[in-house]
Amino acid sequence: MTDFLTRFSCLLDIGTAANAARAFDIYTALIAENAREDPPAEPFLLSLSPEYGPARLWLRDVGSADQQLAITFVTRCADAFGLTGRWGFQWASIASDPVVDGFSGGAHVLDLSTGQTLEWISTGRWLADRLPDGGAR
């Protein structure tokens, strides 16, 4: 049986080490809220890593994760800490076995001050829109 995974790894600069501690509370609340969904979205991991500094959070999948859950976390942090500017990340969607249309990816850019999506792209959709038959099957 083929499994489909979403992989990503990105950083979020939240300004201060004090904000980092509060961000973990936001994360804990979001993951608890997500656990009540039926079915819950695949969670992501959150940590601090010395190599990135005390105010840069590392968000990453645990083998697969829901990128929308990460976006929700980032928008909640942006609101809580008054973050501004743009933030973005990219992901890969992969099949555990080679299957037709089993590989894609995408990227997402947010305006942190408004929480609004500025742009996003899905490579699977991009390709389908550019092929005469809607896909390379």
Q: What domains can you pick out in the chain, each with its CATH number?
A: 4-130 (3.30.70)
Q: Which two tokens stand for residue 35?
A: 């656990």
Output the pTM of the full model.
0.90
pLDDT digits (tens, 9 = 90+) for 54-108: 999 999 998 899 999 999 999 999 999 999 999 999 999 999 888 888 889 999 9
SS3 track for 19-53? HHHHHHHHHHHHHHHHHCCCCCCCCCEEEECHHHC
- Taking the C-alpha atoms of residue 23 and residue 76, their distance in angstroms, rounded to an integer, is 9
| 86 closest CA partner among 95, 97, 75, 76 | 75
